[in-house]
Amino acid sequence: MFKFVVLAVVVALAAAQRTPEATAEIRSLTNDASPDGSYRYSFETSNGIAAQEQGVGGVQAAGAASHTSPEGIPIQLTYTADENGFHPEGAHLPVPPPPQPIPDYIVRALQWIEAHPYKEEYANKPQRY
């Protein structure tokens, strides 16, 4: 039994060595950083993974990445990141549902709150529950 387990592990390791991911090589690589904090990098591998980004450290960035999914679908992602957050774009990303109309009872409640503003005179009165 032990010999069978060892043989299975050796066969699995040998098979894993033959995958494009296991044998991927870097085809191109650039990496530039400037004293002012700006930077730029890009790389491409032999198994079709590629990425590039440029920006100013900790302030803003923009880039793109691409690869092929295990299902064989090409994945392409572009993004920006700045003081307003991370903004990815790609056909593979989920799309949020369209905005729904505000229910009538919420609209009426908001209108009532607007018509009856909080009065400062109630601020110092103890609350009774």
**Locus of tokens 């991927």:** 24
- Domain with 41 in it: 25-96
Beta-strand pair 50-56/74-82: unpaired
| Identity of residue 2 | F
Decide if 81 is inside a domain: yes
Decide if 9 is inside a domain: no
Could you give the CA distance from residue 45 to residue 28 in angstroms, rounded to a whole number? 7
Angle CA(17)–CA(73)–CA(65) in degrees, nearest 5?
A: 80
What tokens were used for 14?
């040998």
Could you give the CA distance from residue 106 to residue 121 in angstroms, rounded to a whole number? 27
- Helix, strand, coil percentages for the chain (3-state, nearest 5): 25, 35, 40
Of 69-73, 104-108, 117-121, the one with minimum mean pLDDT is: 117-121
Could you give the CA distance from residue 46 to residue 21 in angstroms, rounded to a whole number? 9
Domain count, the chain: 1
Predicted confidence (pLDDT) at residue 72 exceeds the cutoff of 70: yes
Decide if 112 is inside a domain: no
Decide if 116 is inside a domain: no
Decide if 107 is inside a domain: no
Determine the pLDDT at residue 11. Answer: 63
What is the pTM assigned to this prediction?
A: 0.60
Instruction: Note the pLDDT tens digit of each residue in 113-129.
Output: 999 887 776 666 666 66
Decide if 126 is inside a domain: no
Decide if 37 is inside a domain: yes
Decide if 13 is inside a domain: no
Could you give the CA distance from residue 30 to residue 41 in angstroms, rounded to a whole number? 5
